[in-house]
Structure 1
Amino acid sequence: MNRIVSIAIVAILAIWLVSSTVFVVDQRKYAIVFALGEVKQVIDKPGLHLKMPPPFQNVIFLDKRYLTLDSPDADRFITAEKKNILIDSFVKWRISDPRLYFVSFSGEERRALDRMQQIIRDALNLEITKRTVREVISGERAKVMNAIQKNVEEEARKIGVEVIDVRLKRVDYVEQISNSVFDRMRSERLRVANELRSTGAAESEKIRADADKQRTVILAEAYREAEKMRGEGDAKASQVYAQAFGQNPEFYKFYRSLQAYRASFKSQSDVMVLDPNSEFFRYFRSSGPGGVAAK
């Protein structure tokens, strides 16, 4: 019985010894072998490895993949014009120097993340205070992110971290200045609208004046052409009248007198006060040539 117990104890000790001295490194991990806080070995190759049993040596695993660090909440920063804005950012990073990373934080991931967030916050504050709201939001956003990434890379390198990318997910105004920003944007739009209206009114007046000018020119040219045609017609009529008068002057006088009678006695109510012996009634008194009384 004692022999069986001894064998079992030896087997348990052997299993414990093997499990405490043999460990497997995943291809996605770094393995840090340390003793009493001192790093003895850094393993970045996957496979089966050996170490001394605790407490002589211990092992801790670190992720070698690309990781994302999102800010838990939007942080408030002050711009160069003393305005508050909220910025939400994220960082792509990975452990580039596992030994330095382990020494910096004793393998505690929470401490490492807190330190990374502090580095990002400091870099953001350094760049935001140099620029205006317009530059941060649109004008120089790419330049701001590049400057932030450069500052973060320099600080992160000191703790064994490589920063791959820094992005600003959201840049927004704090509630206190949102209304003033909206009012300023509305005033700017109204100013542009008024400028467009003024320009449109000026163009309208210009077009209207040009149209009136063209109308006046067209009417003047039409009147000139009409007067020219009227003068030519009157000249032609005078020529015809002259020819007719030359062929039979007496008939011409008689015809013109008939036209005058027709125009004068158009209505029965017309009244004329004239001397009956006047030249106007010449062809009333006689139908013969020269107005001689007919027998």
Structure 2
Amino acid sequence: MNRVGFIASSLLVVLALLSSMLFVVDQRQFGIVYALGQIKDVIVKPGLNFKLPPPFQNVSYLDKRLLTLDSTDTEPMLTAEKQRVVIDWYVRWRISEPSEYIRNVGLDENAGTLQLNRVVRNAFQEEINKRTVKELLSLKREPLMADVKREVLESVRGAKPWGIDVVDVRITRVDYVEAITESVYRRMEAERKRVANELRSTGAAEGEKIRADADRQREITVANAYRDAQKVKGEGDAEATRVYAEAFGKDPQFAQFYRSLEAYKASFSKKGDVMVLDPASSEFFKVFQGSVPISAVSRK
């Protein structure tokens, strides 16, 4: 039984030793083998690899993918005309030489991020000091980013190379500091209000002009219509008078009788109409007094 236990323990020790000597490098990583604190080997190709067990040799990994560094500093920068602006930018970079990177930068990606952030910001400050706000907001932004990338590459490829490659440098936003931005917004708001008030005044004046013209056209139209109506009415009255005169000329007694009836009809159009007259002396009721012969009325 002790022999079986010894064999099992020996196998476990061997397996533990083998597991400490084997390591896998992913295709997204560099594998760095250290021997007593010194870089022994850099594994670039992915796969299964061997090393001595700790503490003789250890392994660490660095990311070989394209990394992104975003700006986090909101400290304003001065332009050529001494305007304070805040910019947002990002940098795409990767580790190209792991040995140089570890010796001159650090053991992980965060070390490169911190140092690269400082270098990029200094390069942006230097280039922005040479340019105006108008140039930062125009198509001249591309040369600015190219100059910043060139300066950053000169810094990381200097006397002590960082072992990294800067692929791209981009500006995502250029803005005034908050105090200036609020002032600009207030001026823009005031200008827009001025333009809006001017448009309202112009619209009101045009509206009054249109209403005045419409009123004038209405008065002219009404006057012309009234004139034409009066003209037609006059012509109708004249024609009616002519017809009445012609008809009455043929039989004056019937005409007088007819006109008396029309007068009676107009005088007693309502049930409550009352007239106080003397039938004996009034000419109004002479038809009822037999002044007009009945034979004349019947003939008509």
CA distance in 2: counterparts of 1:147 and 1:118, whole angstroms:
16
Q: Could you tell me which of 172, 177, 187 is aligned with 1:174? A: 177
Deviations 1:243-285 (A, max 9, x none): xxxxxxxxxxxxxxxxxxxxxxxxxxxxxxxxxxxxxxxxxxx
Query: What secondary structure does 1:164 align onto?
Result: strand
How far apart, in 2, do the equivalents of 1:133 and 1:37 lie?
A: 50
Q: Which residue of 2 aligns with 1:149?
A: 149
The answer (yes or no) to whether the contact 2:28–2:63 under 8 Å persists in 1 is yes
Q: For the residues of structure 2 that align with 1:150 and 1:37, how far apart are their CA atoms?
A: 34
How far residue 103 of structure 1 moved from its aligned partner, in angstroms, is 1.7
Match of 1:104 in 2: 104
- In structure 2, relative to structure 1, the CA distance for the partners of 1:139 and 1:46 (3 Å cut) is closer
Displacement of 1:155 in angstroms is 2.0
3-state SS of 2:54 partner = coil
Q: What SS does the corresponding residue of 2:168 show, helix, strand or coil?
A: strand
SS at match of 2:156: helix
Q: Distance in 2 between matches of 1:81 and 1:176?
A: 17
Paired residue for 2:167? Answer: 164
Q: Map 1:229-240; keep pairs closer than 5 Å.
A: none
> Conserved in 1, the CA contact under 8 Å of 2:30 and 2:63?
yes
- Give 1:72's aligned residue: 72
Contact 2:63 2:109 in 1 (8 A): no
d(CA) in 2 for partners of 1:36 and 1:127? Answer: 44
For each residue in 1:190-212, what CA deviation from the matched residue of structure 2 results, as whole angstroms up to 9, or x when unmatched?
A: xxx9xxxxxxxxxxxxxxxxxxx
Could you tell me how far 1:149 is from its partner in structure 2?
0.8
**1:73 Cα offset (Å):** 4.6
d(CA) in 2 for partners of 1:35 and 1:105?
A: 19
Q: Within 5 Å, give how 1:23-172 maps onto structure 2.
A: 23-138=23-138, 140-157=140-157, 158-172=161-175
Aligned residue in 2 for 1:2: 2
Partners of 1:75 and 1:88 within 8 A in 2: no
Q: Which runs of 5+ in 1 are unaligned?
A: 194-295
The one-character-per-residue Cα deviations of 1:176-234 (angstroms, maximum 9, x if unpaired) are: 22255457779999xxx9xxxxxxxxxxxxxxxxxxxxxxxxxxxxxxxxxxxxxxxxx
SS at match of 1:167: strand
Structure 1 SS opposite 2:49: strand
Tell me, yes or no, if the aligned pair for 1:20 and 1:53 is still in contact at 8 Å. Answer: yes
**Local SS of the residue matching 2:19:** helix
Structure 1 residue 39 displacement after superposition: 0.7
TM-score by length of 2: 0.58
Secondary structure in structure 2 of the residue aligned to 1:107? coil
Change (3 A) 1:12 1:106: farther
4+ residue runs over 6 A deviation: 183-189
The Cα of 1:55 is off from its aligned counterpart by 0.9
8 A contact 2:106–2:112 mirrored in 1 = no
Q: Percent identity?
A: 48
The alpha carbon displacement at 1:117 in A equals: 0.9
The one-letter amino acid of 1:95's match is I
Cα deviation 1:149-180 (Å, max 9, x = unaligned): 11112223321110100000111111222255
Moved more, 145-154 or 129-138: 129-138
CA RMSD, aligned part only? 2.5
2:39 and 2:186 map into 1 onto residues whose CA distance is: 60
| Structure 2: distance between partners of 1:103 and 1:9 | 41
Task: Judge conservation of contact 1:89–1:166 (CA < 8 Å) in 2.
Answer: yes
Question: What SS does structure 2 have at the residue aligned with 1:90?
Answer: strand
Q: 1:105 to 1:20 in 2, by over 3 A?
A: farther
Specify the code of the residue in structure 2 equivalent to 1:127. Answer: E
Instruction: Tell me the secondary structure at the aligned position of residue 138 of structure 2.
Output: helix
Segments of 5+ residues of structure 2 without an aligned counterpart are 196-300
CA contact (8 A) 2:156 2:164 kept: yes
Distance 1:106 1:12 in 2: 36
Q: 1: distance between equivalents of 2:31 and 2:6?
A: 35
